[in-house]
């Protein structure tokens, strides 16, 4: 799978670990940065970069990491067609794939160990979208006037 990855300084270390594991499984990863945890950077920069790559179809999925996963998730979700979810457990990852067709996984670099993050990522990679009643709900996410 072609996957874009990004992080701010708070997510740098975990992003490096997740990217390394994704590549070892054979995934093609575009790493948009950041490149260090020593320089404070703005999480929306990286959230928007990955959001654009997913929204344009250049990559199938994205992985984003900041301190909590929250701010970088908000940034990615500004892009139409992006369904980013901050996941704290494998259950979050399973349900957001099955029900929300989540295409951007967000992780908290200051909250999760590498093994916890990878357990979440594996479930997110392997779980299919259920479709059915969820198709219409997911389509409504991008509607201007869904009511």
**Catalytic site positions:** 66, 99
User: Among residues 121, 108, 127, which one has the least CA distance to residue 29?
Assistant: 121
Residues numbered 75-114 forming contacts with ligand RB5, rule: CB under 6 A = none
Sheet containing strand 84-86, edge to edge, reads 28-31, 2-7, 61-66, 104-108, 84-86
The only residue of 14, 29, 55, 66 in contact with ligand RB5, by rule CB under 6 A:
66
Partnered with residue 106 across adjacent β-strands are 64, 86
Tokens (6 digits) for 70 = 């929250």
In the complex, minimum distance from the CB of residue 32 to ligand RB5, in angstroms, rounded to a whole number = 15
Q: What are phi and psi of 44, to 5 degrees?
A: -60, -30
In the complex, minimum distance from the CB of residue 66 to ligand RB5, in angstroms, rounded to a whole number = 3
- Binding of ligand RB5 by 25 (CB under 6 A): no
CB closer to ligand RB5 out of 49 and 101: 49
- Binding of ligand RB5 by 70 (CB under 6 A): yes
CB closer to ligand RB5 out of 6 and 71: 71
- Binding of ligand RB5 by 46 (CB under 6 A): no
Tokens (6 digits) for 57 = 């179809």
Size of the site for ligand RB5 (CB under 6 A): 8
Q: Which residue is nearest to ligand RB5 (CB)?
A: 71
* d(C-alpha 9, C-alpha 13), whole Å: 8
Does residue 98 contact residue 128 with C-beta atoms inside 8 Å? yes
| Contacts to ligand RB5 by CB under 6 A | 8, 10, 43, 66-68, 70-71
């Amino acid at each position: 799978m072609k996957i874009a990855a990004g992080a701010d300084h708070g997510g740098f270390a975990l992003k490096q670990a997740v990217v390394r594991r994704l590549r070892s499984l054979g995934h093609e990863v575009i790493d948009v940065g950041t490149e260090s945890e020593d320089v404070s950077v703005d999480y929306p920069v990286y959230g928007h970069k990955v959001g654009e790559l997913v929204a344009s179809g250049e990559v199938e999925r994205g992985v984003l990491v900041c301190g909590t996963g929250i701010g970088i998730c908000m940034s990615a979700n500004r892009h139409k067609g992006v369904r980013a979810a901050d996941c704290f457990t494998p259950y979050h990852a399973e349900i957001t794939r099955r029900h929300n067709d989540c295409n951007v996984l967000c992780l908290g670099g200051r909250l999760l160990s590498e093994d916890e993050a990878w357990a979440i990522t594996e479930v997110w990679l392997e779980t299919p979208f259920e479709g059915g009643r969820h198709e219409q709900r997911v389509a409504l996410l991008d509607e201007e006037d869904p009511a």
